[in-house]
Amino acid sequence: MTEELAPIVEAEVSNNGKRGLIGLSMGASGAVMMANNNPGFFDGVAGISGCYSTQDAIGRGTANLTVGNLGGNPNYTWSTPEAWSRNDVVSNPEGLRGTQLYLSAATGEITDEELDHYADKPITDQIAGSLLEAGSRQCTGDLSAALTESGIEHTTDYLEQGAHGWPMFVPQLQPAWDGIKSALQ
């Protein structure tokens, strides 16, 4: 993405030389990990409801749930113990220094809008959305604490309600953009 795709896109698309990422859920984890592993490459990064540790119980459990639940082998996500360690942003967030960061997550408490969204779906969807978001909230708090301890500036937005799904994600896209756009102008 950074070595092969970026030069092709930048050669073909008019740009100002600034780079940013916004990801949600597993994409948030990937966006923040990619920025951390490529210090200075991205000017702004936003993560909505991600998990940023590959080694703690919640991070490992999230990988097991999201990959393993669909029949994949989570052990293949990062091939070696060293790669699992390298992608653990909470343990080493230094690659994010100087990057404008915005993080957000909710509590997992279902909103009235989400109750309508889940009305025709199996109850397990609602439970999964609630549990995944509660885990994302903990993961986001863990990364925020690691960033603060390292003296790395960032913005964290904790929502009082919301489950892990589109009814909560969509309204978070604008605040995420607002949280990093000044770094991209």
How is residue 32 written in tokens? 């923040």
With beta carbons less than 8 A apart as the criterion, state whether 102 and 46 touch: yes
Query: pLDDT over 90 for what percent of the chain?
Result: 80
| Distances 147 to 36, 37, 45, 100, 127 between C-alpha atoms, Å | 12, 15, 14, 12, 30
Calculate mean pLDDT across residues 81-101.
Answer: 92
Residue range 23-47, pLDDT digits in tens: 999 999 999 999 999 999 999 999 9
Q: Angle at CA 76, nearest 5°, toward 163 and 3?
A: 90
Average pLDDT, the chain: 93
Q: Nearest Cα to 101, choosing from 13, 23, 17?
A: 23
pTM score, whole prediction: 0.92
Alpha carbons 131 and 115: distance in angstroms, whole number = 15
Question: Could you give the domains of the chain?
Answer: 19-184 (3.40.50.1820)
pLDDT band at 61 (very low <50, low <70, confident <90, very high): confident
Residue range 110-137, pLDDT digits in tens: 999 999 999 999 999 999 999 999 999 9
